[in-house]
Amino acid sequence: MHVVLVELVKDLLAKHKLCDHCLGRQFASLGTGIDNGFRGMILRSTVLLDAHGIIKDESDASQDGKITGARTLLTGQGGQLQPLATKLLAHLNLPLPAPDVLARAKARDTMAPWDWDGCELCGGVFSKQVQSKLVQLAREQSTGIEFKSLLVGSRFSTSVVEKEEEMRVECGLKWGEAIKSHFNRFVGSELSQALDKPVDFKNPDVVFIFAIENKDSAGVEIQINPLFIYGKYRKIARGIPQTHWPHRACGGAGCEECNYTGKQYMESVEEYISKPVLDATGGSGVRFHGAGREDIDARMLGEGRPFVIEVLCGKKRTVDYEALTAAINDFAKDKVEVSGLRPSTNEEMQDLKENAPDTTKKYKALCTLEHPIDDATLGMLKAKLEGTTLHQQTPTRVLHRRANKTRLKKVLAVSWERVENPLEIVFIIEAMGGTYIKELISSDEGRTQPSISGLAGQKIVCKELDVLEVNH
Ligand SMILES: [Zn+2]
Ligand SMILES: [Zn+2]
pLDDT value at position 328?
A: 97
Q: How far is the CA of 179 from the centre of ligand 2 (A)?
A: 52
Q: What is the largest CA-CA distance in the chain?
A: 121
Which pLDDT does position 64 carry in this prediction? Answer: 67
Same-domain status, 28 and 45? yes
Q: Are residues 322 and 396 in the same domain?
A: no
Tell me the whole-structure pTM to 2 decimals.
Answer: 0.75
Q: Residue-wise pLDDT tens for the chain (472 aa)?
A: 567 888 899 889 888 889 899 999 999 999 888 899 999 988 988 888 888 888 777 666 566 677 777 777 776 654 545 667 777 777 777 777 666 666 666 665 556 777 777 888 998 899 888 899 999 999 999 998 999 999 999 999 888 999 999 999 999 999 999 999 999 999 999 999 999 999 999 889 999 999 987 666 778 999 999 999 999 999 999 999 999 888 989 998 999 999 999 998 889 999 999 999 999 999 999 999 999 888 899 999 999 999 999 999 999 989 999 999 999 999 999 999 999 999 999 999 999 888 877 789 999 999 999 999 999 999 999 999 999 999 999 999 988 888 899 999 999 999 999 999 999 999 999 999 889 999 999 999 999 999 999 999 999 999 999 999 988 7
295 is catalytic: yes
424 and 453 share one domain:
yes
Contact 14, 76 (CB under 8 A): yes
Give the C-alpha separation, 333 to 466, whole Å: 18
CB 309 within 8 A of CB 274: yes
Q: Give the domain CATH number at 400.
A: 3.30.70.3190
Write down how long the chain is: 472
Distance of CA 95 from the midpoint of ligand 1 (Å): 25
- 357 C-alpha to ligand 1 centroid (Å): 55
Domain end point (choices 99, 120, 141): 120
pLDDT score, position 14? 84
Do 175 and 256 lie in one domain? The reply is: no
What does the DSSP 8-state code read for residue 394? Answer: P
C-alpha of residue 333 to centroid of ligand 2, in Å: 27
Q: What's the domain range around 57?
A: 1-120
Rounded (10°) CA dihedral 381, 382, 387, 388 = 10
Residue 39 CA to ligand 2 center (angstroms) comes to: 65
Q: Are residues 257 and 351 in the same domain?
A: yes
* pLDDT value at residue 1: 55
**Minimum-distance ligand to the CA of 118?**
1
Considering every ligand atom, which ligand is closest to the CA of 258?
2
For the segment 433-451, what is each residue's pLDDT rounded down to a tens digit?
889 999 999 999 999 999 9
pLDDT at site 82: 66
Identified catalytic residue from 20, 200, 205, 295: 295
Regarding whether 371 and 461 lie in a shared domain, the answer is yes
| Same domain? 268 vs 373 | no
Q: Same domain for 172 and 213?
A: yes
Residues 6 or more apart whose Cβ sits within 8 Å of residue 132: none
Which residue, of 304, 333, 357, is where some domain finishes?
357
409 and 381 within one domain: yes
Give the list of residues 6+ apart from residue 251 with CB closer than 8 angstroms, or none.
Answer: none
CA-wise closest residue to 220 among 139, 286, 301, 163 = 139
Q: Indicate the pairing of strand 461-471 with strand 360-368.
A: antiparallel
pLDDT for residue 59: 64
Distance CA 95, CA 74 (A): 10
State the Cα–Cα distance between residues 392 and 436, nearest whole angstrom: 8
Domain closes at, from 86, 120, 154: 120
Q: What CATH number does residue 310 fall under?
A: 3.30.70.2510
Q: What's the confidence (pLDDT) of residue 56?
A: 79
Is 168 found in the same domain as 93?
Answer: no
Q: Tell me: do 259 and 183 sit in the same domain.
A: no
- Looking at all shown ligands, the one closest to residue 18's CA atom is 1
Distance from Cα 335 to the centre of ligand 2, integer Å: 24
Please state the domain count of the chain.
Answer: 4
- Cα(337) to ligand 2 centroid in Å equals 28
Q: Which residues have CB less than 5 Å away from ligand 2 (the ion)?
A: 247, 250, 255, 258
pLDDT at 57: 76
List C-alpha distances in Å: 181 to 40, 128, 186: 17, 18, 8
Which ligand is closest to the CA of 121, given by its number? 1
Mark whether 342 and 394 lie in a shared domain.
no
